[in-house]
Structure formats: C-alpha cells, structure tokens
Amino acid sequence: MFTGIIQDIGVIHSIARQGSNISFTISGDKLVDQINIGDSVAISGVCLTVTRVDLSARRFLVTAVTETIGKTKLASLRQGDRVNLELALQPTDRLGGHFVQGHIDAVGDCLEINQAEGSWIISFRYPSRFAALLIEKGSIAVDGVSLTAYDRTENHFKVSVIPHTWQQTTFCRLQPGDSVNLEFDMLGKYILNYNKTTGATGLTIEKMREHGF
C-alpha cells in the first residue's frame, strides 16, 4: 500500500527482457539504503518487487510480469528515463495522499500543460470505461502521484500541481502526448463492485455500516 507522495526520482539504468517479463535496474540514491530484497516499491505508480539491491552502485532491480506490462506504460520506458519512486506505507506513517495500491487501471495521455499563478494545470485523457470511478474533486494517482481531479468529463480531467510536486516528481519533464499510469480511487472501486454484485440502487450510511465501513 502506498499514499501517492513521491519520495525520490529514480533513473532507469538498464532494461533486460527475460522471456515475457521485463527487469529494470533503477538508480535511486535517496532510497536505496532503505530497500531490501522482497520489498514493494512503486515505480511511477506501479507496485513492483525488489529482487536485487546493489548498495555500492546505489541501484536496485525490479521485474514486471506480462499482466503488469500490458496494463501500464512500463514497456515504453527506456534507459535514462526518470521514474517516480515511493516505498510501501508503514503502519506508523502519515497518510499524506490517499490509499494507493500500485495496481494500475489504465494508461492515460497528457493533453495540455498550462502554467498558472503558483501552479501548473495539466489535462489528461483516460478511457471512458473508467468514468464511474472518477468523481469531481476525487483522488487519482497519476504516475504514482496522489492528485485531485476536477473539470472531469467522461474521458478527460484536470489536476493542479504545486511547485513542490512539480519539482520533486517527473511532472517537470512531462510533455503533451506523453503516456501516464492511472490508478483510480480504491474506495470507488469497492462501492461500484458492491452496487454491481448486490444490485443496489443506492448507497446509504446504514448500508456502509452494515458492510464494515
């Protein structure tokens, strides 16, 4: 589990294909001392397992399987690309963003970037089949960054990015036309699934309490 608060920007040092899997060796100087083999690390929002750590070179290795590659932008990464890094949430950590699983739902596209007074406004396109999972002023993880969506339509939304987030994530290198990993709010997925499986026509406080919320 993650929160969408990026802790470092890593650099893809090398990429190797192993059958249908892809392994990435990533330089992550700020976090590598905290990473152990078997740990989960979010790589631009994708939860991957660390299989090797090289402290002397300040690098670690993760492997993505076919299922993950097919649902993310990982296959488009190249040597030298930068990626957002976040270590898994600890029970005592502050939840600064929102609950992020690192399980990407879809790949979206950056449409437009505009600088405003004190922030950047970025427009994204997403597959319309996920429209029910995105609400106005709701949370969404874009390349692993916890953001608030607004001006949402059936296939577009905007986010505002403050200078700190702009500088401390890969957003400062984002260009219109670039692909991004999208993960929609986990709570929305549970509510949508509940309504589908029970045939419920509405959600009430009583129903939420009955099911442990």
Same fold yes or no, 8-87 and 106-191:
yes
Asked if residue 139 lies in contact with residue 185, where contact means CB atoms within 8 angstroms, the answer is: yes
* Domain spans of the chain, in order of start: 8-87, 106-191
Q: In what order do the strands lie in the sheet with 156-161?
A: 145-148, 139-142, 179-184, 106-116, 119-125, 156-161
Tens place of pLDDT for every residue, the chain, 213 residues?
999 999 999 999 999 998 999 999 999 989 999 999 999 999 999 999 999 999 999 999 999 999 999 999 999 999 999 999 999 998 888 888 898 999 999 999 999 999 998 899 999 999 999 999 999 999 999 999 999 999 999 999 999 999 999 999 999 999 999 999 999 998 888 888 877 787 766 656 666 677 666
pTM over 0.95: no
CATH number of 8-87: 2.40.30.20
Whether 60 and 54 have beta carbons less than 8 Å apart is answered as yes
Q: Is the CATH code 2.40.30.20 the one for domain 106-191?
A: yes
Virtual torsion, Cα 161, 167, 171, 173, nearest 10 deg: 140
